[in-house]
Chains A and B, each alone.
Chain A
Amino acid sequence: MSKPKFKNPVVNWIDYRLPIFTFMNHELNEYPTPKNLNYFWNFGSLAGITLVIMIVTGIVLSMNYTAHIDYAFDSVERIMRDVNHGWLLRYIHMNGASFFFIVVYIHIFRGLYYGSYKAPREILWILGVLILLLMMATAFMGYVLPWGQMSFWGATVITNLFSAIPLVGESIVTWLWGGFSVDNPTLNRFFSLHFVLPFVIVGVVILHLVALHRFGSNNPIGIDVKGKQDTIPFHPYYTIKDLFGLSVFATIFAAAVFFFPNFMGHPDNYIPANPMVTPAHIVPEWYFLPFYAILRAIPDKLGGVLFMFGAIMVLFVLPWLDRSSVRSSQFRPLYKLFFWFLVIDCIALGYLGAMPAEGIYVVLSRLATAYYFFHFLIILPLLPKIESTRPLPVSISTPIITASSNASTVMAMREKK
């Protein structure tokens, strides 16, 4: 150690032996970040913060929750009525799940739009998809815990999907349930897994961050950082920007928690689970609806399950499906168009997932499902062959000069030089 890095001698003493402060300084303070990130780059940190909120509220809720079919519903109501600010904790946790998915879906579509999954960030992207899968499993099991009608019937429908597996399907379902129907053993194991999976998510998030910090963030124009002039230190520039993003997010989140806490839930989940009465429509939480639509679009049970999981699996191989060397949609006019088609398609799937599986909805679901896979499996691999991309700028610091850019920009450029 040539000279002390930190002013505080205690910090220096510790850092010499355990370089945790050097690490934090490197990764959170001076960490060089492209200077042109837009607000869509806020959603990564928002997702991380939401995860922490979910874990903290979840731990406190678990202290007051009873994972037993006879007590689960009432213990949740006790939290709502008798535990000090229990209603606040539960509504934050309940709406937090929805907001987590809103944030993560925006984060994913940002990655799609700006080509953040491309080399050398493939593993970063794959870890992200893995986090999405873990989140879905966690959210699904969390929804079962209040043991309302939708909890019970949602669990029944989703676990039954595994019975589509040839030969061993039925045995697997029995094994998952811990019995011959969704019952107390199922609730117990779901609680246990719902508690532990978020910590697995934290682990994968750490790997996600390690992979991120290897090459740094992608950026809106999608070209590599060329040197120091292209980056700024993370602190204070992005800490303050993330803080501002967080405060806006928190305002919207609080509006939901305090004024519309049950808007994203289903009223049937305030009816205690009853295995003898099936609800008129079994609908999953909104964030599963696109996948639910794909599941129901396929007339065959096993096929539906395969396509539903396939919809996620295809994301794992996305970096090898899209071989265009240009990352950002800003320079890929055709890809940009198809990106928005995909967004519309996913929203359409979400809408169709909420509709009853009959009549025109079935036809539309099939078309939307077909298009989803068509986008990833056909359009993306073909696109680089037919697309003429726009010229890339020299570096992040150098504005793009093309025929389309107007004279005043060029003038401004000249004046600076």
Chain B
Amino acid sequence: MRFSKLVLYFLILFNFSLSKLALSAGKAIEYPDKNWSFSSIFGTFDKASAQRGFQVYKEVCAGCHGMRLISYRNLAALGYNQDELKAIASQFEITDGPNDDGEFFTRPGRPSDKFASPYPNKKAAIAANGGAYPPDLSLIIKARSNGANYLHALLSGYVEPPKDMKVPEGMYYNKFYSGNLIAMPQPLYEDGIEYLDGTKASPDQMAIDVTTFLAWASEPELEERKKLGVTVILFLIVFSILSYFTMRQIWAPIKNKN
């Protein structure tokens, strides 16, 4: 069996197992591919976009959606310095305690705090949203198949429903949502927020920015991972080549005898 053949078989098997999983998602709705800055092998997060995305999250999404796995200190990865982090954290009220008197109290946030939750608990979140729990966004990009394109499409998918469709009270039509009826009202409107860096806040721009921010939140290790990956793969390729020729050298007497 020639080695090239083996590699071919291996790759076929490997690819097959992967494509199978992709298929297992079922008849998925097609989302426009946005070519994210972070999706290629050398991809990194567009930090300016992620910072704007954080602003979108803070001013729009955070009304209903928590991000319980993220701390304010983590935002340093988006390019904020320590003073900025302290300033950002202190904008939020954090419930702490119990103190020495056994009382819970609120205080301004610190960088070490996790993002303040919009609701005191899950039940309160469900009650405030007509029975639908607004999912936590810490991992949302990893928790959805084709997550970044999905989220961007979802945020841009609020269009007029087809004439023959009756949209029930408290539900909204979204062409990219499975079943087309979503409990989340359209969150992004033209100039819904005013970007600190002066970028024009079109709904598409905001959708792109907040997706970039949430992609970072889902995979904060992505840049380090890909950078290390390139080094490791290059090393292994060189190592493979060297070990191949060493092997040829060692095997030469055996091969020549035959």
**CB of A26 within 8 Å of the partner chain:** no
Residue from A87, A91, A247 in contact with B240 in the complex, judged by beta carbons closer than 8 Å: A247
A354 touches B23 (CB 8 A): yes
Q: Are A289 and B20 in contact (CB under 8 A)?
A: yes
Measured CA separation A283–B143 after assembly (Å) = 15
Tell me whether B13 and A268 are in contact (CB under 8 A).
no
Task: Find B243's partner among A39, A220, A240, A354 (CB 8 Å cutoff).
Answer: A240
Q: Would you give the 0/1 interface string for B213-250, flagging 1 where the beta carbon is closer than 8 Å to chain A? A: 00000101100011011101100110110011011001
Say whether B29 faces chain A, with CB atoms less than 8 Å apart: no
Q: Is the CB of B229 within 8 A of A257?
A: yes
Looking at the complex, which one of B20, B23, B26, B221 makes contact with A81 (CB distance below 8 Å)? B221
Indicate if the CB atoms of A244 and B21 lie closer than 8 Å.
no
Task: Type the 1/0 row for A253-287, where 1 means its CB is closer than 8 Å to any CB of B.
Answer: 01101110111101110110000000011010011
Contact A263–B7 (Cβ < 8 Å): no
Cβ-defined contact, A243 with B139, below 8 A: no
The CA-CA distance from A255 to B229 in the complex, in Å, is: 7
Q: How far is the CA of A347 from the CA of B12 in the complex (A)?
A: 11
Central interface residue in B14, B17, B74, B243, by most chain A CB within 10 Å: B17
Complex: A263 Cα to B25 Cα, angstroms: 12
Which of A81, A240, A255, A264 makes the CB contact (< 8 A) with B220? Answer: A81
Interface check B24, CB cutoff 8 A: yes
A259 with B239: CB separation less than 8 A: no
Closest to B13 in A: A102
Report whether B69 and A244 are in contact in the complex, using a CB–CB cutoff of 8 Å: no
Contact of A241 among B41, B138, B221, B247 (CB under 8 A): B247
Are A254 and B233 CB-contacts (below 8 A) given A243-B243, A248-B240? yes
A172 CB to nearest B CB, Å: 30
Q: Within 8 Å of chain B (Cβ to Cβ): is A236?
A: yes
Q: Is the CB of B20 within 8 A of A39?
A: no
A258 to B236, CA, bound (A): 13
Measured CA separation A228–B233 after assembly (Å) = 40
Q: Would you call B105 an interface residue if the criterion is a C-beta within 8 Å of the partner chain's C-beta atoms?
A: no
Q: Per DSSP, are chain A's interface residues mostly helix, strand or loop, or mixed?
A: helix
CB-CB nearest in chain A for B6: A39
Which one of B143, B233, B237, B246 lies within 8 Å of A240 (CB-CB)?
Answer: B246
What distance in Å separates the Cβ of B15 from its nearest Cβ neighbour in chain A? 10
Interface contact B233-A251, CB-CB below 8 Å: yes
A376 within 8 A of B: no
* B232 pairs with A354, CB closer than 8 A: no
Partner of B21, one of A38, A261, A263, A271: A263
Q: How many contacts between A and B, using CB within 8 angstroms?
A: 126
Asked whether A350 lies within 8 Å of B20 as measured between CB atoms, the reply is yes
A266 contacts B236, CB within 8 Å? no
Assembly CA distance A162 to B13 (angstroms): 31
Partner of A281, one of B10, B24, B221: B24
Contact of A258 among B17, B69, B229 (CB under 8 A): B229
**Given A232-B254, A247-B236, A262:B142 Cβ within 8 A:** yes
Contact between B246 and A286, CB atoms less than 8 A apart? no
Shortest C-beta distance, B197 to chain A (Å), equals 27
In the bound complex, what is the Cα–Cα distance between A266 and B26 (angstroms)?
Answer: 13
Contacts of B236 in A (CB 8 A): 247, 250-251, 254
Are A354 and B24 closer than 8 Å at their CB atoms?
yes
Q: Tell me, in angstroms, the Cα distance from A77 to B144 when the chains sit together.
A: 17
Q: Is the CB of A271 within 8 A of B225?
A: no
Residue from A74, A268, A287, A354 with most neighbouring chain B CB atoms (10 Å): A354
B196 at the interface (CB under 8 A from A): no
Query: Within 8 Å CB of A189, what residues of B?
Result: none
Asked whether A259 and B221 contact (CB < 8 A) given A77-B139, A243-B243, A267-B147, the answer is no
- Say whether A255 contacts B233, CB under 8 Å: yes
Bound Cα distance A50, B97 (Å): 47
19 pairs, A vs B, C-beta closer than 8 Å: A91-B225, A243-B243, A247-B236, A252-B14, A254-B232, A254-B233, A258-B226, A258-B232, A263-B21, A266-B21, A267-B143, A268-B143, A283-B24, A289-B20, A350-B17, A351-B23, A354-B20, A355-B23, A355-B24
A-to-B contact residues, CB < 8 Å: 35, 38-40, 74, 77, 80-81, 87-88, 91, 98, 102, 105-106, 220, 232, 236-237, 240-241, 243-244, 247-248, 250-252, 254-255, 257-259, 261-264, 266-268, 270-271, 280-281, 283, 286-287, 289, 347, 350-351, 354-356, 397
- Beyond A220-B1, A255-B233, A270-B139, 7 extra complex contacts between A and B, CB < 8 Å: A35-B254, A106-B10, A251-B233, A252-B10, A259-B229, A264-B17, A268-B143
